[in-house]
């Protein structure tokens, strides 16, 4: 690969020797992200330490026509950081300086390799924190969060990454740099480029410096754990809370299987009797104390109306922390009850939670596989965990079941992904959710920014090479639905 | 940038106005208008006609959204609404209020009939931005018709969704230069049981520090607005709180303790206070954004200058916009990160947060409107001197 050789030569001159990895054994460390089923060994890994080194790397790729993939901590669950063969990986893990915590404007400016949690830790002394809290927050990076528009348990009330990032210095695919966004939350200078960039899964450029809003720690926080005799009742309780106009900070659901795994891992105190606790909700409310109490009373009433078998209120911060530890450890804890599992990520309208959970159970039964559910119920964002045993030849069945669950979400009026992204994993399912024209317009946007198709190619949008000649089934176009009645 | 005008001169004076009622008709209207006049101009309620320093193009075919009106789907239990873009926010509000819900935007222009699509296209919001952000933060999905007649959808109807590019963000603030939004899915919020406002006399420079004291007291204001109405009345900070009566009592008590110079406004007095600042915003000549701590951007303004500032959001609307005031603000808006958006033609052109974004903006504009059928202040290069270069002034 002469082009790759040229990039190697140019980067050897521009970056410190330790910042380039090209021996096969070490390159293999970068062959996948959190979605380990897809693996490609990259041709070269560059670990720039500064904005200028990122610019140098992107320019070199651009000049030589070499594809590249940006990578944070590699915790992504959709293969968004899956390398391209004979391409390079630009890892941002060395760029982890917290540049500023601005207490006047209540913002933090950081490099992309800073972890999500480190921002809140840096702000804690000032009574401030960064709100989006993905379960992987101890390790995942803010650069990756920006790429994926990451969510988290507390996004129900406070919003996702896109609601909290004010500005990003971005290296565009042609190697030029620009600051997207601005100093204020109000964005007022034409099309919201930062909004387009956040959640574009690394396909429109690489952020090298990110400014986020910090929020003030709420005066009071209360957390409860409510058990239900059936998953459907728990689902109805969530819909009931939403419909009552209550906006809790978080509403999370775990089913019996998920609780069993999480309890074994953390001893959070979940009820382990499926008859009494087929599912449990973790509900958290924050704000001024009297208001929190009032909301809490209403939530308890909704839980009781929906036949909660037990409502346990966290008595102190330690008990609250234990409940959250249990919830956040649930994915990793699956290893205790199943040799292998797929984490799925889909969204349904919140009024249809009970329905979708029942249908997932049916799909699981038909496939002969167990499905554990642990998810952001208040957002309607499901994370079904399909449990399988690769050594028993169940991989394909597991993958198929997982895909069918995501597509079921779309069928029910939801989305293929709430926070993990489309990446390499679901690009071929995109035609289930979007028409050919919708996807063609998205492709126009992508091509306008990345003319040469070098920036994280093969992610997000389906291509014939990736998905076969016929990319997905026919889907009615908006114009047809609106009554024009013809396809042209 | 603009396409050729195929019309004969004698037809030029008769305006071409197209009024599609749904996505299908919008496609036909765009194609018909483009064929007739080459250029298109999107018109909602007309409440932001001069934004961006726009000069009306008398020859462009007008795409009016007045028939693109009404609710397509409201799922009260899911707090999600699908609405046609030409629906005035003020018309929507009572319908949603019947379910105890609202679209949490309170732009000053709502009273004049500003439409939901128009608010997205102008990225406009009111004091509630403090709590809920702007339209881009509440829109879940859009259907758009591009200038070449392509109808496309992005996003969805659920509150959390990261599938595909978020074209609603790109349309936010696009001032009608990228396409005609025909339908939007939006997230709704509960209407608060009650509101109360704490009004504190407050000098310009102190506004942020005073507001932060209320925040630090845990009172969680839903809106924080400082205003000098330019009428000789004392400038003051308005802090609005929302919630049940119990919560309001708690919040007012907290704020009274840290800001004893203020007083509570309830009922008519509260409504009147906010109506006065909204009226001032409607009369604004331009709006600037900067970090909250950067204000005041201009040290001294002539007596009679009206300024309304969202203290947390970092936005200030200024009137009447004499040349000297505009010049001072334009100079102050120059550093990267700050913006100036004219609301009257007299205030000149748009100041971008970072001029280095121009090439990518231009590339996106060309990708979505290759024929340049939707000209506007943002499609013209340079740091937007007024009037936008390259436009026919005939």
In a domain, B276, yes or no: no
For residue B314, list chain A residues with Cβ-Cβ distance below 8 A: 105, 183-186
pLDDT of residue A469: 54
Query: Are B134 and B20 within one domain?
Result: yes
In a domain, B117, yes or no: yes
pLDDT of residue B385: 32
What residues contact residue A113 under an 8 Å CB cut-off, 6+ apart?
Answer: A72, A73, A92, A93, A94, A95, A96, A141, A143
CATH number, domain with residue B241: 3.30.70.3450
Which of B57-61, B112-116, B224-228 comes out lowest in average pLDDT?
Answer: B57-61
* Interchain contact B67–A (C-beta under 8 A): no
In a domain, B273, yes or no: no
pLDDT of residue B56: 76
For residue A148, list chain B residues with Cβ-Cβ distance below 8 A: 162
Query: Are B296 and B257 within one domain?
Result: no
Cα separation of A355 and A378, whole Å? 15
Contact A307, A228 (CB under 8 A): yes
Location of structure tokens 């707090």: B79
Contact A292, A283 (CB under 8 A): no
- B224 DSSP 8-state letter: E
- How many distinct structural domains can be found in chain B? 3
pLDDT of residue A288: 87
Mean of per-residue pLDDT scores for chain B: 91
Q: Is A118 helix (H, G, I), strand (E, B) or coil?
A: helix
Q: From the list B80, B151, B287, which residue is nearest A437 (CB)?
A: B151
Cα separation of B49 and A71, whole Å? 44
Query: Are B205 and B250 within one domain?
Result: yes
Domain of residue B248, residue span: 192-267
Contact A237, A308 (CB under 8 A): yes
Residue segments in chain A with a per-residue pLDDT below the cut of 50: 470-475, 479-480, 482-488
Evaluated on CA atoms A453, A86, A465, A36, the torsion sign reads: negative
Query: Are B172 and B308 within one domain?
Result: no
Cα separation of B258 and B387, whole Å? 48
Contact B240, B196 (CB under 8 A): yes
Token pair belonging to B102:
């609202």
For residue A420, list chain B residues with Cβ-Cβ distance below 8 A: 162
Q: Sort A330 into a burial class: Cβ within 10 Å, 0-12 / 13-18 / 19+.
A: buried
pLDDT of residue B306: 97
Query: Are B58 and B129 within one domain?
Result: yes
For residue A347, list chain B residues with Cβ-Cβ distance below 8 A: 156, 158-161
Segment B77-114, tens digit of pLDDT: 899 999 999 999 999 999 999 999 999 999 999 999 99
Interchain pair B23, A415: CB under 8 A: no
CA-nearest residue to A176 within chain B is: B356
Q: How far is CA A63 from the centre of its chain?
A: 32
For residue B173, list chain A residues with Cβ-Cβ distance below 8 A: 187-192
Interchain pair A186, B359: CB under 8 A: no
φ, ψ of residue A333 in degrees (nearest 5): -75, -15
Segment A4-35, tens digit of pLDDT: 999 999 999 999 999 999 999 999 999 999 99
CA distance A428 to chain B (A): 12
Q: From the list A163, A439, A478, which residue is nearest B151 (CB)?
A: A478
CA quadruple B279, B42, B84, A184: dihedral, nearest 10: -50
- Is the pLDDT score of B2 beyond 90? no
Query: Are B297 and B206 within one domain?
Result: no
Give the number of A-B residue pairs with CB atoms closer than 8 Å: 324
Segment B149-160, tens digit of pLDDT: 999 999 999 999
φ, ψ of residue A269 in degrees (nearest 5): 95, 25
For residue A107, list chain B residues with Cβ-Cβ distance below 8 A: 291
Cα separation of A44 and A86, whole Å? 8
Token pair belonging to B153:
């959808």
- Is the pLDDT score of B394 beyond 50? no
Interchain pair B78, A350: CB under 8 A: yes
Cα separation of A170 and A177, whole Å? 6
In a domain, B278, yes or no: no
Which of A302-306, B115-119, B185-189, B376-380 comes out lowest in average pLDDT?
Answer: B376-380
Q: From the list A127, A243, A289, which residue is nearest B77 (CB)?
A: A243
Nearest to B235 by CA among B165, B292, B291, B305: B305
CA distance B245 to chain A (A): 9
Residue B362: Cβ within 10 Å count: 16
Interchain pair A183, B364: CB under 8 A: no
Location of structure tokens 């280095």: B356
- Is the pLDDT score of B379 beyond 90? no
Token pair belonging to B341:
């958006």
Which of B48, B99, B165, B364 has the most A C-beta neighbours within 10 Å, making it the best mutation to test the interface with A? B165
Domain boundary among B212, B239, B267: B267
Cα separation of A477 and B151, whole Å? 8
Nearest to B62 by CA among B108, B14, B102, B7: B14
Contact B75, B187 (CB under 8 A): no
Query: Are B41 and B185 within one domain?
Result: yes
pLDDT of residue B12: 57
Interchain pair B314, A246: CB under 8 A: no
Contact A248, A156 (CB under 8 A): yes
In a domain, B87, yes or no: yes
Query: Are B181 and B69 within one domain?
Result: yes
In this prediction, residue B391 has a pLDDT band, given cuts at 50, 70 and 90, of very low
pLDDT of residue B53: 86
Structural domains of chain A sorted by starting position, each given as residue range(s) with its CATH number in brackets: 2-91 (3.30.43.10), 98-216 (3.30.465.10), 220-411 (3.40.462.10), 435-484 (no CATH)
Q: Are strands B61-64 and B40-43 parallel, antiparallel or unpaired?
A: parallel
For residue A192, list chain B residues with Cβ-Cβ distance below 8 A: 123, 136, 169-170, 172-173
CA distance A140 to chain B (A): 18
Cα separation of A113 and A94, whole Å? 6
Which of A321-335, A413-427, B19-33, B163-177 comes out lowest in average pLDDT?
Answer: A321-335
Interchain pair B163, A438: CB under 8 A: no
CA distance A200 to chain B (A): 6
For residue B337, list chain A residues with Cβ-Cβ distance below 8 A: 167, 179, 182-183
In a domain, B277, yes or no: no
Sheet holding A68-71, edge to edge: A20-21, A44-46, A88-91, A68-71
DSSP string, B64-109: E-TTS-SEEEEEGGGTEEEEETT-BHHHHHHHHHTTTEE-----GG
Q: From the list A183, A189, A291, which residue is nearest B350 (CB)?
A: A189
In a domain, B186, yes or no: yes
Query: Are B170 and B251 within one domain?
Result: no
**Touching A: B residues 335-374, CB under 8 Å:** 336-339, 341, 350-354, 356-357, 359-361, 363-364, 366-368
Query: Are B19 and B38 within one domain?
Result: yes
For residue B368, list chain A residues with Cβ-Cβ distance below 8 A: 441, 444-445, 448
CA distance A103 to chain B (A): 10
What residues contact residue B324 under an 8 Å CB cut-off, 6+ apart?
Answer: B302
pLDDT of residue A376: 93
CA distance A184 to chain B (A): 5
- A483 DSSP 8-state letter: I
Token pair belonging to B241:
């709180």
Q: Sort A316 into a burial class: Cβ within 10 Å, 0-12 / 13-18 / 19+.
A: exposed
Query: Are B210 and B107 within one domain?
Result: no
Burial call A366-395: b when 16+ CB within 10 Å, e when fewer: ebebbbbbbbbbbbbbbbbbbbbeeeeebe
CATH number, domain with residue B152: 3.30.465.10
DSSP string, B130-163: HHH--HHHHEEEEEEE-TTS-EEEEE-SSS---S
φ, ψ of residue A487 in degrees (nearest 5): -110, 130
pLDDT of residue B8: 52
Query: Are B6 and B62 within one domain?
Result: yes
Domain boundary among B214, B233, B267: B267
Q: From the list B75, B314, B337, which residue is nearest A185 (CB)?
A: B314
> Number of C-alpha atoms within 13 angstroms, CB side, residue A427?
23
In a domain, B172, yes or no: yes
Q: Dump strand ranges (E) for A193-307.
A: 206-213, 215-216, 220-228, 250-255, 279-287
Q: Is B119 helix (H, G, I), strand (E, B) or coil?
A: helix
Which of B163, B214, B217, B355 has the most A C-beta neighbours within 10 Å, making it the best mutation to test the interface with A? B163
């Amino acid at each position: 690969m002469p082009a790759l050789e040229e990039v190697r030569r140019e980067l050897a001159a521009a970056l410190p020797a330790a910042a380039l990895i090209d021996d096969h054994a070490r390159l293999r460390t970068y062959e996948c992200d959190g979605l380990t089923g897809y693996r490609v060994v990259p041709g070269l890994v560059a670990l720039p330490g500064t904005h200028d080194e990122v610019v140098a790397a992107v320019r070199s790729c651009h000049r030589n026509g070499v594809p590249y993939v940006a990578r944070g901590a590699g915790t992504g669950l959709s293969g968004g950081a899956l390398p391209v063969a004979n391409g390079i990986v630009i890892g941002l893990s060395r760029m982890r300086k917290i540049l500023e915590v601005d207490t006047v404007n209540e913002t933090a400016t950081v490099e992309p390799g800073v972890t999500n949690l480190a921002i809140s830790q840096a702000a804690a002394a000032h009574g401030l924190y960064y709100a989006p809290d993905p379960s992987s927050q101890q390790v995942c990076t803010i650069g990756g969060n920006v790429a994926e528009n990451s969510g988290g348990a507390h996004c129900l009330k406070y919003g996702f990454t896109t609601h909290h990032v004010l500005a990003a210095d971005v290296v565009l695919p042609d190697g030029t740099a620009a600051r997207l966004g601005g100093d204020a939350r109000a964005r007022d200078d034409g099309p919201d480029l930062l909004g387009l960039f956040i959640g574009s899964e690394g396909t429109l450029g690489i952020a090298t410096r990110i400014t986020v809003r910090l929020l003030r720690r709420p005066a009071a926080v209360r957390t409860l754990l409510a058990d239900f005799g059936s998953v459907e009742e728990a689902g109805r309780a969530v819909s009931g809370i939403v419909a009552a106009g209550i906006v809790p900070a978080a509403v999370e659901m775990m089913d019996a299987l998920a609780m069993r795994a999480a309890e074994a891992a953390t001893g959070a105190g979940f009820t382990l009797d499926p008859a009494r606790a087929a599912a449990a909700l973790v509900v958290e409310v924050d704000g001024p104390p009297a208001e929190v109490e009032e909301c809490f009373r209403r939530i308890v009433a909704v839980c009781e109306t929906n036949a909660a078998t037990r409502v346990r209120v966290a008595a102190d911060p330690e008990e609250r922390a234990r409940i959250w530890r249990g919830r956040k450890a649930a994915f990793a804890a699956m290893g205790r009850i199943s040799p292998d599992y797929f984490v799925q990520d889909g969204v349904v309208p919140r009024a249809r939670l009970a329905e979708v959970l029942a249908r997932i159970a049916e799909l699981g039964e038909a496939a002969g596989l167990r499905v554990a559910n642990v998810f952001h119920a208040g957002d309607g964002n499901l994370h079904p965990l399909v449990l399988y045993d690769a050594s028993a030849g169940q991989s394909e069945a597991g993958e198929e079941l997982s895909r069918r669950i995501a597509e079921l979400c779309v069928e029910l009026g939801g989305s293929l992904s709430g926070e993990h992204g489309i990446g390499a994993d679901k690009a071929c399912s995109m035609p289930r959710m979007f028409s050919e024209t919708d996807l063609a317009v998205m492709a126009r946007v992508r091509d306008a920014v990345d003319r040469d198709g070098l920036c994280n190619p093969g992610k997000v949008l389906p291509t014939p090479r990736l998905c076969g000649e016929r990319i997905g089934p026919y889907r009615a176009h908006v114009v047809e639905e609106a009554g024009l009645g013809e396809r042209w | 940038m603009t396409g050729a005008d195929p019309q004969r001169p004698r037809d030029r004076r008769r305006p071409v106005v197209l009024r599609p009622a749904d996505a299908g008709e919008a496609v036909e209207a765009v194609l018909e208008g483009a064929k007739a006049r080459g250029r298109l101009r999107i018109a909602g309620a007309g409440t932001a006609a001069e934004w961006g320093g726009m000069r009306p193009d008398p020859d462009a075919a007008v795409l009016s959204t007045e028939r693109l009106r009404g609710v397509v789907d409201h799922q009260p239990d899911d707090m999600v609404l699908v609405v046609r873009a030409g629906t005035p926010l003020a018309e929507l509000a009572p319908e949603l209020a019947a379910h105890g819900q609202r679209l949490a935007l309170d732009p000053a222009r709502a009273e004049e009939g500003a439409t939901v699509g128009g608010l997205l296209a102008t990225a406009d919001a009111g004091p509630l931005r403090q709590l809920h952000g702007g339209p881009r933060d509440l829109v879940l999905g859009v259907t758009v018709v591009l200038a070449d007649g392509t109808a496309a959808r992005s996003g969805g109807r659920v509150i959390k969704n990261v599938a595909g590019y978020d074209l609603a963000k790109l349309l936010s603030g696009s001032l009608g230069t990228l396409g005609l939004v025909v339908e939007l899915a939006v997230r709704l919020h509960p209407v608060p049981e009650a509101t109360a406002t704490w009004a504190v006399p407050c000098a310009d420079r102190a506004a942020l520090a005073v507001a932060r004291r209320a925040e630090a007291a845990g009172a969680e204001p839903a809106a924080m607005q400082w205003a000098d109405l330019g009428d000789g009345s004392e400038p003051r900070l308005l802090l609005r709180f929302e919630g049940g009566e119990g919560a309001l009592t708690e919040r007012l008590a907290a704020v009274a303790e840290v800001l004893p110079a203020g007083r509570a406004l309830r009922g008519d007095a509260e409504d009147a206070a906010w109506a006065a600042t909204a009226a001032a915003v409607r009369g604004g000549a331009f709006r600037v954004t900067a970090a909250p701590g950067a204000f005041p951007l201009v040290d001294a303004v002539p007596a009679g200058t009206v300024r309304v500032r969202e203290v947390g959001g970092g936005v200030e609307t200024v009137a009447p916009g004499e040349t000297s005031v505009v010049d001072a603000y334009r100079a102050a808006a120059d550093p990267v990160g700050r913006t100036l958006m004219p609301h009257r033609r007299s205030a000149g052109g748009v100041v971008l947060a970072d001029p280095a974004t121009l090439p990518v903006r231009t590339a996106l504009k060309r990708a979505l409107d290759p024929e340049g059928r939707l000209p506007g202040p943002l499609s013209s290069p340079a740091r937007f001197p007024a009037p936008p270069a390259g436009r026919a002034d005939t």
